[in-house]
Amino acid sequence: MIGLRVAGTGSFLPERVVTNEDLSRTLDTSDEWIRTRTGIVSRHLLDPDTPPATMGIAAAREAMGRAGLPPDAVELLIVATNVPEELIPGSAPFIAAGLGLHHEPPFFDIKAGCAGFVFAMAVAGAMMASGIARNALIVGIEALSRFVDWGDRKTCVLFGDGAGAVALTAAGEERGILGVSLHGDADKLGLLRIPAGGVRLPASAETVASRKHFLQMKGRGVYQSAVTMMERATLEAAERAGISLADIDWLLPHQANLRIIEALVRRLGFPRDRVLVNIDRVANTSTASIPILLDEAVRAGTIGDGDIVALTAFGAGACYGTVILRW
């Protein structure tokens, strides 16, 4: 048990909404195909001229405001993202600068595919438990619209942009992280990747011409692994927490595909009405998916004091995991 409190949540979705109908005007796809295969109806996309960090800054400000955490009290900032603001120095320094964290707290990025936010929760919890920080800010932020090939119907329809944040503060043993299960399956690293732009294959005229800077995905392979990964991690985290699945009040799965979520719920035998979903409106926002969902549920009053909440995700790597919290 790691004693901590989610003292505040926040989220930001770009103003521009793009529906399946909008996409079908320029792409060989249809609302019917996207809706029935994925559950997605629309997504928010960031304007090309807006720096993505602004989304994370907005979400973090909201979380800090609700937590009553002023900038100079932040002792740790972790940013979960797959496509950082710049390769060097990543995203965290840009968000720290935007938040005015002038007292030089530690900040860094975590890259763990779409499971990045769940990994960041576990890392922040462990750092808080070890006394490195008494409070922490975690931001999940993604602007994958900049890295999907808008001519590739197999990938581009799936993703949206956004950011979510939580402010954590130290608390007694009555609430906090009850159980964690994190995993990585490197045999599956080929399922989701952006092959060029890193040190293995730096940008060149050839990599641009061959479209290697765009996200490549083996959709069927991801689909098949996702369900068993989240199932394994959730069962393990519950066991480590010493609870049964029936004790979990709310399950917040990564919003990648409604059919994946429904298959997971069936396999776990978990009640569907206790599973939170917003994929229809936001699509897959990668590391931002769970904190956005969490913020919406907190603001709607769905999640209440003492509730047991399970966050589960999978993604590139393949990284996957579940964190179970008592709210």
Ligand X SMILES: CC(C)(COP(=O)(O)OP(=O)(O)OC[C@H]1O[C@@H](n2cnc3c(N)ncnc32)[C@H](O)[C@@H]1OP(=O)(O)O)[C@@H](O)C(=O)NCCC(=O)NCCS
* Contact between 315 and ligand X per CB under 6 A: yes
Distance CA 6, CA 231 (A): 25
The token duo for 87 is: 């390769």
The least distance separating ligand X from the CB of residue 20, rounded to whole angstroms, comes to 9
Q: Which is nearer to ligand X, 29 or 228 (CB)?
A: 29
Listed in sequence order, the residues at least 6 apart from 78 whose beta carbon sits closer than 8 Å to its beta carbon are 92, 107, 108, 109, 110, 120, 123, 124, 136, 137, 138, 139
The C-alpha angle with vertex 179 and arms to 313 and 190, in degrees rounded to 5, equals: 30
Q: Which stretch binds ligand X (CB under 6 A): 49-57, 153-161, 227-235, 296-304?
A: 153-161
The token duo for 102 is: 């002038």
The least distance separating ligand X from the CB of residue 315, rounded to whole angstroms, comes to 4
* Contact between 253 and ligand X per CB under 6 A: no
* Contact between 222 and ligand X per CB under 6 A: yes
* Contact between 37 and ligand X per CB under 6 A: yes
Q: Which stretch binds ligand X (CB under 6 A): 33-41, 70-78, 274-282, 293-301?
A: 33-41
Listed in sequence order, the residues at least 6 apart from 314 whose beta carbon sits closer than 8 Å to its beta carbon are 113, 114, 115, 225, 226, 229, 230, 254, 256, 320
Site mask for ligand X (CB under 6 A), range 99-138, x = bound: ---------------x------------------------
Q: Interface residues for ligand X in 278-307 (CB under 6 A)?
A: 284
* Contact between 36 and ligand X per CB under 6 A: no
Contact 18, 46 (CB under 8 A): no
Q: Which is nearer to ligand X, 34 or 309 (CB)?
A: 34
The least distance separating ligand X from the CB of residue 313, rounded to whole angstroms, comes to 8
DSSP string, 191-209: SEE--SSSSSS---HHHHH
Pick the catalytic residue from 135, 156, 254, 319. Answer: 254
The token duo for 130 is: 């070890």
Out of 102, 154, 211, 272, name the contact with ligand X by CB under 6 A: 154
Contact 308, 296 (CB under 8 A): no
For residue 326, report the phi and psi dihedrals to the nearest 5 degrees.
-100, 120
Contact 195, 285 (CB under 8 A): no
* Contact between 257 and ligand X per CB under 6 A: yes
The token duo for 20 is: 């399946």
Contact 107, 90 (CB under 8 A): no
* Contact between 311 and ligand X per CB under 6 A: no
Pick the catalytic residue from 20, 44, 82, 114. Answer: 114
The least distance separating ligand X from the CB of residue 107, rounded to whole angstroms, comes to 25
* Contact between 11 and ligand X per CB under 6 A: no
Q: Which is nearer to ligand X, 81 or 257 (CB)?
A: 257
Annotation says 114 is catalytic: yes
Contact 282, 289 (CB under 8 A): yes
**Shortest Cβ contact with ligand X: which residue?**
219
Annotation says 254 is catalytic: yes
Q: Which stretch binds ligand X (CB under 6 A): 26-34, 46-54, 103-111, 237-245?
A: 26-34
Site mask for ligand X (CB under 6 A), range 65-104, x = bound: ----------------------------------------
Buried/exposed code over 236-263 (b: 16+ C-beta within 10 A; e: otherwise): bbbeebebeeeebebbbbbbbbbebbbb
The least distance separating ligand X from the CB of residue 45, rounded to whole angstroms, comes to 16
Would you please indicate which residues are annotated as catalytic (active-site) residues?
114, 254, 284
